[in-house]
């Protein structure tokens, strides 16, 4: 009850509401721009949070995430081009409805289902995060080291398709994290005589480079959209009868989204397709799927919005981001010196409460803002792509400079963008690299702290039950991934 009162007080005494709405607007616009995913939308605004109060910064990022998940469905429905990956499943029936002259209805179903998914995910986030974080109270430095190894091995094996490439990306990420002053001895490492590198390379710069700059480079020279969005579209929220019709599909979306959000490497796009298939399987109106089914929009939209909240559960409890967007949010937390886990719930309860309250505000406001902002989104999506590229690059460079006021940072962002572009060409996943940068210092400092405790004896890791369990889980995970890859390679060879 005390926390509820505190949350209400925050609503009137802090700029939480305008910040959440601003984040929502930015998220919807970013998500609506084809090629700009939720994580890129968040990465673009991440540098701006540097100078903000921690609560506002985290609320802004969370609201952007919520907004981007809805925004992605706008071009998916109107021009058959998903704004974000997780809106890809919405294209199937959304565009069909648009062709039948029901674009406004399709957008309304998407908006309503997104809000239902967000609320459901948010409720789970509030209920599950704190108890899970309390588990982490029993963690020793050895357990934290093992948790870091488990996180890296899960993400490396799940996020890219190739375990080997995932592991290489994760190792490169940890290497980047070793730049700067050694946390134990205070000696400089890989600083090349540049004092700017003594404090290390901030994960935020790597995120902006990998997500935003590499995507701009990838899109360079592309023609952009072949078709433009008709300017006269009005959102029509579903009536009671329609709400009843799509409720089962929404429920399926929420359940699938919960599991996918909790699983590292799952993500909104997988959840959206699974829930689409399940909704079709369980529907009384199965024949409508693929021909403009409202349920075909409701299920994926509810699921990807549920993922937006539930993917924050492992992040806030253990510091393991399960998706690119959660990794950017982790970057936002770290910028302000906030470390996920039980201490976050003890020392920074205002941030956690702010996150819950801000997300709730953003979810409710989504229904109104989504309707009001549609003309602006349509106008922006219809702008020539070269102008969009120019303004996005200007935003990236301006934002990156604000972090330290250093041109060196711009160099780091651009170099990382180049590396990211090569990673796209050679199909190396980003998430393990990001996780490596973020978790590298945690893994190293806990590894060395453990050895300080034991006087250099590695057997200390086998004396800690949690550490042993987590390390065994890491090995099991890697072995399963290797077996799976070998089996897939054999099947491919047979097929050829």
Partner 1 sequence: MIKDILSGGVVLAVAGFYYLGTRQILHSSLEDAVGADGLPLILSAVLAGLGVLLILRSLLTLRGKPAGKIPVVDGEQRASLPRALGLLAIAAGYALIAPVIGYMPAIALLIIAVAIYEGIRPSWALAITAVGGAVGFWLFFVWLLGVEQPRSIFF
Regarding 405 and contact with partner 1 (CB under 8 A), the answer is yes
Stretch that binds partner 1, among 44-52, 226-234, 269-277, 335-343 (CB under 8 A): 44-52
Q: How far is C-alpha 289 from the chain's CA centre? A: 29
**Across-strand partners of 189?**
180
Stretch that binds partner 1, among 97-105, 231-239, 370-378, 447-455 (CB under 8 A): 447-455
- The CA–CA distances, whole Å, from 179 to 197, 205, 324 equal 7, 13, 23
Regarding 168 and contact with partner 1 (CB under 8 A), the answer is yes
Rg (CA), the chain: 22
Q: How far is C-alpha 122 from the chain's CA centre? A: 15
Regarding 228 and contact with partner 1 (CB under 8 A), the answer is no
Stretch that binds partner 1, among 198-206, 374-382, 388-396, 472-480 (CB under 8 A): 388-396
Regarding 286 and contact with partner 1 (CB under 8 A), the answer is no
Regarding 435 and contact with partner 1 (CB under 8 A), the answer is no
Closest by Cα among 14, 7, 62 to 315: 62
Regarding 394 and contact with partner 1 (CB under 8 A), the answer is yes
Regarding 34 and contact with partner 1 (CB under 8 A), the answer is no
Distance of alpha carbon 180 from alpha carbon 381, whole angstroms: 41
Stretch that binds partner 1, among 200-208, 261-269, 334-342, 394-402 (CB under 8 A): 394-402
Distance of alpha carbon 181 from alpha carbon 184, whole angstroms: 9
Regarding 225 and contact with partner 1 (CB under 8 A), the answer is no
Closest by Cα among 424, 439, 426, 436 to 210: 424
Regarding 336 and contact with partner 1 (CB under 8 A), the answer is no
Torsion of CA 158, 159, 163, 168, to 10 degrees: -140
Regarding 421 and contact with partner 1 (CB under 8 A), the answer is yes
Closest by Cα among 439, 492, 399, 408 to 149: 439
Shortest distance, position 15 Cβ to partner 1, whole Å: 14
Regarding 30 and contact with partner 1 (CB under 8 A), the answer is no
Regarding 451 and contact with partner 1 (CB under 8 A), the answer is yes
Regarding 208 and contact with partner 1 (CB under 8 A), the answer is no
Q: Exposed, middle or buried by CB within 10 Å (0-12, 13-18, 19+), for 221? A: exposed
In this structure, is the dihedral angle defined by the CA atoms of residues 48, 50, 55 and 59, taken in order, positive or negative? positive
Non-local CB neighbours of 476 within 8 Å, separated by 6+ positions: none
Shortest distance, position 380 Cβ to partner 1, whole Å: 14
Regarding 195 and contact with partner 1 (CB under 8 A), the answer is no
Half-sphere exposure of 158 toward its Cβ, with a 13 Å CA cutoff?
20
Residue placing its CB nearer to partner 1 in the complex, 101 or 455: 455
Identify residues 50-89 at the interface with partner 1 (CB under 8 A): 50-51
Residues in binding contact with partner 1, number by CB under 8 A: 62
Regarding 189 and contact with partner 1 (CB under 8 A), the answer is yes
Biggest CA–CA distance in the chain, Å, is: 73
Closest by Cα among 125, 159, 191 to 359: 125
Regarding 385 and contact with partner 1 (CB under 8 A), the answer is yes
- Whether the CB-CB separation of 283 and 289 falls below 8 Å is answered with yes
Regarding 131 and contact with partner 1 (CB under 8 A), the answer is no
Stretch that binds partner 1, among 25-33, 54-62, 160-168, 344-352 (CB under 8 A): 160-168
- Interface residue with partner 1 among 80, 218, 236, 336 (CB under 8 A) is 218
- Residues of the shown chain interacting with partner 1 in the complex, contacts defined by CB under 8 A: 48, 50-51, 164-165, 167-168, 171-172, 174-175, 178, 182, 184-190, 213, 216-218, 220-221, 384-387, 389-391, 393-395, 397-398, 401-402, 405, 407, 410-411, 414, 417-418, 421-422, 425-426, 428, 444, 447-448, 451-452, 455-456, 489, 493, 496
């Amino acid at each position: 009850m005390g926390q509820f009162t505190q949350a209400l007080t925050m609503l009137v005494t802090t700029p939480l509401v305008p910040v959440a709405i601003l984040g929502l607007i930015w998220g919807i616009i970013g998500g609506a721009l084809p090629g700009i995913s939720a994580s890129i939308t968040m990465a673009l605004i991440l540098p701006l949070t540097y100078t903000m109060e921690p609560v506002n910064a985290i609320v802004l990022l969370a609201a952007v995430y919520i907004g981007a998940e809805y925004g992605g469905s706008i071009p998916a429905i109107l021009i058959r081009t998903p704004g974000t990956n997780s809106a890809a499943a919405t294209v199937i029936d959304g565009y069909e409805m648009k062709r039948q002259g029901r674009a406004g209805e399709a957008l309304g179903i998407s908006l309503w289902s997104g809000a239902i998914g967000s609320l459901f995910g948010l409720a789970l986030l509030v209920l599950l995060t704190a108890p899970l974080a309390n588990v982490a109270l029993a963690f020793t430095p050895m357990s934290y080291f093992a948790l870091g190894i488990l996180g890296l091995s899960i993400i490396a094996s799940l996020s890219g398709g190739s375990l080997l490439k995932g592991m290489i990306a994760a190792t490169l990420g940890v290497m980047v994290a070793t730049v700067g002053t050694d946390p134990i001895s205070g000696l400089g490492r890989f600083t090349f005589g540049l004092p700017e590198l003594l404090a290390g390379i901030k994960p935020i710069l790597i995120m902006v480079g990998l997500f935003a700059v590499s995507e701009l480079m990838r899109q360079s020279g592309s023609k952009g959209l072949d078709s433009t969005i008709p300017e006269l579209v009005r959102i029509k929220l579903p009536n009671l009868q329609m709400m009843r019709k799509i409720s089962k599909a929404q429920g399926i979306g929420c359940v699938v989204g919960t599991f996918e959000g909790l699983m590292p490497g799952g993500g909104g796009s997988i959840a959206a397709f699974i829930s689409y298939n399940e909704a079709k399987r369980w529907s009384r109106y199965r024949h409508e799927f693929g021909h403009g089914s409202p349920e075909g929009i409701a299920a994926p939209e509810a699921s990807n919005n549920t993922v937006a909240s539930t993917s924050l559960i492992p992040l806030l409890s253990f510091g393991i981001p399960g998706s690119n967007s959660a990794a950017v949010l982790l970057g936002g937390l770290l910028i302000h010196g906030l470390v996920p886990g039980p201490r976050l719930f003890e020392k920074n309860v205002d941030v956690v409460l702010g996150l819950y309250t801000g997300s709730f505000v953003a979810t409710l406001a989504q229904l109104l803002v989504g309707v009001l902002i549609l003309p602006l989104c349509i106008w922006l999506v219809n702008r020539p792509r070269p102008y969009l590229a120019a303004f996005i690059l200007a935003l990236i460079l301006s934002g990156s400079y604000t972090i330290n006021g250093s041109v060196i940072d711009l160099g780091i962002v651009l170099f990382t963008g180049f590396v990211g572009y090569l990673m796209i060409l050679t199909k190396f996943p980003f998430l393990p690299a990001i996780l490596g940068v973020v978790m590298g210092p945690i893994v190293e400092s806990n590894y060395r702290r453990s050895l300080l405790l034991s006087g250099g004896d590695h057997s200390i890791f086998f004396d800690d039950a949690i550490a042993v369990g987590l390390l065994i889980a890491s090995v099991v995970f890697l072995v399963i991934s290797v077996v799976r890859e070998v089996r897939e390679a054999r099947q491919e060879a047979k097929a050829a």
